[in-house]
A and B are shown apart, each in its own frame.
Chain A
Amino acid sequence: MINKYIFAGALVTITIFSGCKEDFLERPPLDTLTTDIFYNTDAQVLASTAPLYNVVWKSYHDQASFHLGDVRGGTTWYPWGTTGVRENVLFRTTGVTQSSLDAYQAFYNVIGQSNMAIYNINKFAGENVSEAVKNQAIAEARFMRATAYSYLVMNFGEVPIITNNVEEMGNADIVRHTIPSIWEFVTRDYLFAAENLPLTALEAGRLTKWSAEGMLARTYLTRAGVGHPDGTRDQASLDKAKEYAERVINMGGKQLVRPYENLFKYPYDNNSESLFELEWTTTGTNYAASNTQTSQITPFAEIAVNNDGWGGSFGATYWMLSLYDGLIDKGTSPTSEDDGVKAGFTVDQRLKASYMLPGFQYPEITVKNAFGPNKAGDKLTVPDPGTSDLSQAYIKKYVVGNELNGVPASQQRYPNNNYMLRLAEMYLIYVEATIGNAESTTDQTAINYFNEIRNRAGLPNLVGPIRMNRTWNADPTVYKDDVFEERAKEFAMEGITWYDLVRIQYYLPEKAYAIINNQDRGGYVAKPNRFPNPTGWTFTKTSWFADRNAVVNSGNFYLQIPSVEISQAPNLNSPAIDYDFGG
């Protein structure tokens, strides 16, 4: 019996002492870092802003960037219903259109993560972090935040400004802010960035002072029209736009990449023309950090890395093609019905670098599986549409094929970057700011800058004047907007044209609506005059294709804030107020 008591006693003793160690109930994550142990060195602080160049933009970049920037802008179209894209072709987007949801989410992710970077660096960065790096990182975050707000305000109009996600979390009194105060907010962030970013990039592709000044040029040009629906832009802002553009051109150390097509031939990342890029990487084949847009726009499965060419239904609009000098030949008849009857051709090299016409050959793209005239291993020849009455001028820009210079890539994981700002825009901003509230300019610097862009594309000099008529008219001898059209050709498929229209809409809304309503966004067939090696193309509008034009007015110009968001934040229904900058 003694045994029993000893044994029981032993067990009870163990029990009493088995209140396991103190840290038994302290279990920080085992597989991730936490904020309180990070931001301790320069390298860590820079690592905390590096993802602001890719993953946070993902939801916008993947599809919304060109569904809005190009499809809405009228450079690119898509024929089929039942997907959200068609709603952007015809300006019938609603609060449930996918591209609106994606864009809204992405911009606020950029803002949220930028705010958190600022918050955490201020809170955790200790004495081992140099002041310069700290300022650069905060400047990067404010630059990204400003960029996201500028996209937000141009797509959705009035939206709330959030600057501190920790403090404002759960605040149901958040309301939308007015368009002018959002632009003021954007400007202040870019000004801070311009003051605190280095003159040369710390690492290739990171932001510099010139990135911020370039954005200031763009911002002031756009802001000039904000609050001036009467058509007169703010001259002070125009002057600033011109000044910043000129500074970047002359002092930024950047130069145009020649020929134009090299801008989009992989590898092209972080080249001499680039001022700001989204920096995609396939390291670790991380979906969020890779370029997935390439899969969405590559027109043929046979030229993609793994059959992921889903962009075969996208192509240049008839309107876009009509901008290229000489491409859509008017023939002998002055009426528009005869457009494209006679085979046309253009010397504008940007066409082939932006869109594919039947018979174009691309030595940089190798065909993986036979299709059309191509055998496996051939360099790509764009197929002939045959007798079809509906075809596409497929997307070429950013379609990089599957070889990628040996850099690893897989389905929806491409390494190529996307430009967010490049030097060419500075030239065109200078021109536009020079024209300002006039209808044209003969300023020689402006004309020279304009011709820099034209010459690079293989086009002859424009003698001048450069025209920007303020009222749209169907008669091409009366109405001309050289700058808008040049920008469309230069930046097609770079997600810019829609925002150019928003800029026009700020001060000349009727002109913006007229441009859109008169862009032909309908079906056509592009036929080569011979195949292979065509020397011209005819363009015939598809007779059965209805809905060639969008109908846009103040009621559907902007995107609607997603319905889900309105439902969960009914405070967004309240009237917008001016942002309080606190004196």
Chain B
Amino acid sequence: MITNQYPDKVYFSNIPVGKTPIVCRIMAIMLTIIFMQATVVLAQTTARHPVSGKVTSPDGQGLPGVSIIIKGTTNGVASDVEGNYTIEAANTDVLVVSYIGFVTQEVTVGTRTQLNVGLKEDQKMLNEVVVTGYGELRKVDVPGAQTTISSKSIEKTVNTTVEQAIQGRAPGVYVTQNTGAPGGGISVNIRGINSINGSNEPLYVIDGVQIQVDNSTSGSNPLATLNPSDIESMDILQGPSATAIYGSRATNGVVLITTKRGKAGDVRINYSYLYSLQKPPKALEVMNMREYAQMDNEYKALNGGAVREDFLDPSILGEGTNWQKELFNNAPMNKHQLSLSGGSEKTTYYLSGEYLNQQGVALGSGFDRGSVRLNLDNQARKWLNLGANISFAQTNEQISTTQYDIINNAIQLSPAIAVRNIDGSYGGGEVRTNPDGSTSDAERFTPPNPIGLANLVTNEIRRRRILGGLNATIKITEGLEFRTSFNGDFGFSNGNNFVPTYQFGFQRNATSRLTVRDDFSSYWNWNQLLQYTRTFGKHRFTLMGSHESQETTYRATTAYRENFPTNEIIDLNAGGAANQTNGGGQNSWGMESYLGRLNYNYGDRYILQANFRADGSANFGAGNKWGYFPSISGAWRVSEESFFNVPFISDLRLRYETGLTGSQGNSGPIYARLTLYPTEWGNGFLPANYPNANFQWEETKTNNVGINLGFLENRFQIEADYYVKNTDNLIIESSLPWYMGTTGAGNITAPIVNVGALQNKGWSFSLNSVNINKGSLRWESNLNISHFKPKITKLYTESSSIARNAPSWYMSPQWSQRSEVGETPWYFFGYIEDGIFESVAEAEASARPADNNGDPYPVDEDNIWIGDVKYRDISGPNGVPDGIITADDQTNIGSPWPQYFGGLTNSFSYKGIDLSILLTGTFGNDVYNYVRMRNSNPNGINLGQNMFKETLNYAKIGVDAEGNPMLENPGTDIPRMTGSVNNNYGRHTTKYVEDGSFVRVKNITVSYNFPAALLARQKFIKGARVGVSAQNLYTFTKYTGYDPEVGTYVGPNMDNSTSPIGVDTGRYPLTSIYSFNIGIDF
């Protein structure tokens, strides 16, 4: 016998729950005890016999996954893929057979051993349960706006990360991919724009773990560690009655993610494999070597300088290097997924494992993930239910492509440079000889060889994450339940960025360097909840009260060394000690909340719900810590009234909700921090920020009216919502003028303030229809379309507008977006461009940029000339056009927000074949094509840079018959080429504002389920299906860049408060993916 090596005391005191408050620790210990007991509980035995049968739908097909439970117990099984089930039952037992969308049937077992059940479709879906904040509600009891996406539809598209599955499937939810890079971030906006501080991302709640996504500066995605295949459903809470229960974190909506759980019955084993091939994007048209040489020669002819020796006769040159072709390749993606689920009446489990490997279409990018999940449920006692879920995931992301701006480099690099030189080394800008013996070193300004960089640099982030929780539910008396849950999220990430020595011509790195960054983050949330449900007569009510505390801590360590003797061993130990550095950083946040909900239903006709939440957050100073968020909502099911008698309307429900949600921004605005700077005399300290002691909650008040309509036995269902959201005390970093010392090195960051108010009006509409349901052919459609319109209503600043300026090193000239009262938030701020001057007379008659005295620059070749940009004079210091072009002539030149967006799904099924087509679309938004601006400046040729082919048509100035200067190619919109300075590329103008509308064939999937009859010939495989799909197959758009879906791209080293919105800065494009998948059930 083994002696007790771990006396209880020692064991429990070592439970690794971190530095949580003592009460929390006790809780964890108690749960552990309960859980250990639970595993030894023996099943009760009574006189039972096996009963088996088949559950079928009205069309005679077997229904898989139907729950068959012995009434009055929690014992039950689920039917298999063909609808068959077997259960042990006593003669007196009553089987409760239920399945979502069908009328629940109760059948007394009697002496029968074979019991087939035909379920009828439940048109009213009365008992369908939906997940909502802090619990589940019958769908009919939910008075607010909420959308559910099931695993069935998630599995139709190729999703490497969870948010990708939402796009086009939920009304009111605007999803844009920030970057097409594998594992990259996505922006999800529920009901438009409610905040202006950069993040409009919803709160994600994954089995109770609350995750606030804030796209990090690396542009990668914190949700990328989740395996989408583990998701049972995603519930998107939109209206205030559902979101208000999350109070201060819910202004941007809530996405509840529920993972799959086991069902009692046979072990179900499922294996699936997915192979995808991702295609390169359609290349942007840049000049080939002949065109490049010709333009270089033309520049020299105009502005002086000797023609390059190899460019003497451009016509004999080849195409040169096609850098985009070199960079983008077909890239495979593989995914293996294995899951096991099942269990006894007492204990059910779901166990899954996944391995995903995705190479990026651009060199230097890639993503892989391995994850395991175990979800357990145990009925320990009649009155005690225990649950546990834990998942572990590791991801590895290659981010060189985005971090080293490799795509932009590929667009800009000269076609005259070879990928590799004859000796095998990577090519780069060189000193070129001219025929006169002189040399040209223009290529000194070319970017580094992107292929070389992508192949040589190592830049990866490895993340490990444990996400999980324990919960216990105690049934105290009939209808009264107490539930406590402890959930945690622990993440560790390691970033390695190694730049070896290299030489690409002028571009040379002589010092190899390695930066390592380790982050550790932890989150815990402990919730206690009491719920009472009671039905008497036609009254049914549920009362819930809860307390919750949560905490996050974060800690980072960075280290840097250089001069590595080889490029093989990438570890700090292998680097030189000189110039080594290290750094740290940590923070913590905590919140405590009290919340409650009352849900009342009278005869399924009148439904009323009230929520209240009080949040106390560490982000605020004394007096402002607590925020209160009430909401109230009601629904009237008119169709249930006795007076309602419209035969073709089967369901009519009117809804109204109103409530308050909030946002608490990030931690720290109330403190005046100091930054350390080294000085000659030791460490020096400067104020880092202006503190704001009065910092307070951002509050959003929402009014929502909705209607649900069902026609012809709900064959057609319409759901529509209209809402008005008023957000007050908008949180943002104040946009102080630079004279307050707020920009540049050593600046003082402007305070985080409550700056103003915003109104957001919108509607969403969805239509579900069963178009054909005849025999074995079924055609269903889902159409959803949404609209939102945000408008700034108040600014509490002294100035009439606030600006969001991208750093000038990132976008040059400096890019601004603005918010001002009466306008859409963050409209593009720039000049209106009216083509280019085609004659001297036109230039003389037009407003022109002016000197310090307000005098327009003269019309001559050295100043403003034919071929220069004509800006529109719209204003002046007094608000009226003043005949000169100044900063006053900037205006709203575009909006990043769409007017309409939506999705259309059509699914066809015929016998075992399913076909589904998903179209997504966005209409009315503008995209600022910065890539085009940067690459259509003909003067770039003088810096050895390539550009878009359209640049060849730059304004060419000749002389007419009378010897007067004239434009040789009227109608061109590319300004002239000039060695001296003019203003043609110094301003952001309407010319680069493009319509970002698009319709995308997002996905076409054909799948085939092998018929049961065929599979019945063997016992091993119970179900099998194969499918092929094409994703992002085609995009209908007028946008000229790679991809109109720009999102709020976060570039390297950019933070949310300054990153441009709706601007294409050369992001990683989304490309088409062709997939094959196979799934087998054992």
Contact = CB atoms under 8 A, between A and B. Distances in A.
A90 B737 contact: no
Contacts of A556: 851-852
Given A18-B526, A102-B744, A112-B748, A560 B803 contact: no
B980 interface: yes
A86 B590 contact: no
Given A28-B671, A81-B939, A86-B981, A21 B21 contact: yes
A568 B743 CA distance: 13
Nearest to B986: A96
Given A20-B549, A108-B741, A171-B798, A27 B746 contact: no
B829 to A, nearest CB: 7
Contact of B687 (A8, A15, A46, A120): A120
A108 B738 contact: yes
Interface residues of B, number: 128
A387 B438 contact: yes
Interface string B860-879: 00100000000000000100
Interface in B719-766: 734-748, 751
A387 B681 contact: no
B370 interface: no
B587 interface: yes
Contacts of A563: 886-887, 890
Interface stretch (B107-115, B810-818, B920-928): B810-818
Interface string A340-362: 00000000000000000000000
A249 to B, nearest CB: 26
B681 A82 contact: no
Interface string B972-1002: 0000001111110111000000000000000
Given A55-B686, A112-B748, A289-B679, A547 B979 contact: yes
Interface in B579-594: 579, 581, 584-592
A581 interface: no
B313 interface: no
B668 A29 contact: yes
Nearest to B581: A285
Nearest to A567: B887
A317 to B, nearest CB: 16
A389 B862 CA distance: 23
Contacts of A203: 680-681
Contact of A101 (B617, B746, B808): B808
Contacts of B23: 14, 17-18, 20
Contacts of B971: none
Interface in B801-856: 801-803, 805, 808, 812-814, 816, 829, 849, 851-853, 855
Given A51-B685, A96-B814, A108 B444 contact: no
Given A59-B744, A205-B680, A35 B674 contact: yes
B304 A542 contact: yes
B348 to A, nearest CB: 22
Given A24-B592, A47-B685, A567-B887, A94 B983 contact: yes
Interface in A123-139: none
B528 A288 contact: no
Interface in A256-295: 269, 279, 281-286, 288-289
A318 interface: no
Contacts of B476: 4-5, 8
Interface size class of A (residues with CB under 8 A): 35 or more
A326 interface: no
Contacts of A36: 672
A408 B579 contact: yes
A301 B855 CA distance: 43
Interface stretch (A68-76, A161-169, A221-229, A499-507): A161-169
Contact of A82 (B578, B849, B853, B937): B937
B587 A170 contact: no
A410 B862 contact: no
B1008 interface: no
Given A109-B747, A568-B799, A25 B688 contact: no
B508 interface: yes
B364 to A, nearest CB: 21
Contacts of B814: 96, 101, 562, 564
A260 B1060 CA distance: 50
Contacts of A111: 739, 741
Contacts of A26: 618
Contacts of B812: 98
A35 B674 CA distance: 6
Interface string B672-693: 1111111111111111101000
A54 B679 contact: yes
Interface in B582-625: 584-592, 616-618, 625
B189 to A, nearest CB: 26
Nearest to A203: B681
A330 interface: no
Contacts of A438: none
Nearest to A292: B745
Interface string A559-571: 0101111111111
A306 B797 CA distance: 47
Contacts of B676: 32-33
A411 B27 CA distance: 54
A409 B687 CA distance: 27
A450 interface: no
B801 A80 contact: no
B685 A29 contact: no
B746 A206 contact: no
Contacts of B890: 563, 567
B1015 interface: no
Interface of A: 1, 3-5, 7-8, 10-12, 14-15, 17-21, 24-36, 38, 44, 46-51, 53-59, 80-82, 86-87, 90, 92, 94-96, 98, 101-102, 104-106, 108-113, 115-117, 120, 157, 159-160, 162, 165-166, 168-174, 203-206, 269, 279, 281-286, 288-289, 301, 305-307, 312-313, 368-369, 386-390, 408-411, 413, 542, 544-547, 551, 553-558, 560, 562-573
Given A102-B744, A279-B679, 12 more contacts: A31-B586, A34-B672, A50-B680, A87-B981, A169-B690, A301-B508, A387-B437, A389-B436, A547-B979, A551-B862, A556-B851, A573-B888
- What 7 pairs across the A-B complex have the smallest Cβ distances? A112-B741, A544-B304, A172-B798, A555-B851, A58-B745, A105-B744, A50-B684
